[in-house]
Structure 1
C-alpha cells in the first residue's frame, strides 16, 4: 500500500492549545510531501469595545474553531505561520476569513484544490455540539478530499508533534 502524496494542504487554526500541534502536523506533512500549505483562521466580527476586551485573552470558541475578533485571529494566524515555518513548510497562503470555521475551511480547500484538510478536534459532549455537530464533523461530511483530525490525549494540555507522524 502506498501513501498518497499531497500537493496542497489546508490547515485550520483558532489559537487554542490544540492549534500548534495541528499546524505542526500539517506543516510536517507539507514539508515531507513538498506540498503547499494554506493556513486558515476563521473569526467572527466584534464591536471595537468587545475586540479590545478579547485581544488580551486571544479568545475563541474551541468548539466552533472560530476566533472572536479580527485582531485575535490575526495573532492566531501569525503564530500558526511561525509554527509552520519552524517546521520547514512552504506556506503559500495565510488567510483570515470572517465566518464560520467549517465553511471557511471548505471554501478555501475548494478554491485551492486541496487534497488534504488538517484540523484539530476536542472531545466535546456539550448539548450544542451534539445537536449541531462540530467543525470536524461538518468538514468531514461535506468535502471530497482527505481530512486528518489531530486529537489531544485525554487530560493533556501541552502537545508535541512527533518525529514520526505514524505514531
Structure 2
C-alpha cells in the first residue's frame, strides 16, 4: 500500500503557540486593567453605567483567555497527521480520537493559497459542504500537486495572497 504522510512543521507549530501565548498575556493584562478600573469606580459614588465597561472587559477578556489556555494545553494534538493513500485515493486525518477519511470522489473543490512562490494553505470542500483547511504542513505543495493531477480540471483554484 502506497501512503504519503504529511506532518505539521515544528516551526509553524511554535509560531502558532507563541502567538497564542502573546494573546494570552495581552488578555491577562486587559483583565488586570479592567479590574483596576472597576476597583477605582467602586471607591467613589457608584453608578451602574461606570461599572458596565469594566465588568464587560473582565468577562470577555477572561473568557478569551480561558479559550487560549485550552488551545495551549491541546498543543501538538491540535495538528493531526494527514495521510494520502495513492491506491484508494483517500485523504485521512489521524487524530487521537480516531481517523477522518475524505475520498477524492467526495471532494467538490480545492482552494490553494499561494504566496511568495510557495503554497501557504489548502482548503478542501466536500460534497456535503464540510471544509478542511490545511496550513503549515511540510510538503503541502506535494499534496497540492497530487490533488491537481487527480481532480477534474476547474475544481482546483489557485489564489494569490498580495502583501
Q: Same fold judged by TM-score > 0.5?
A: no
TM-score, normalised via structure 1 length: 0.26
Return the index of the structure with the highest Cα Rg: 2
* Structure with greater strand percent: 2
* Structure with greater helix percent: 2
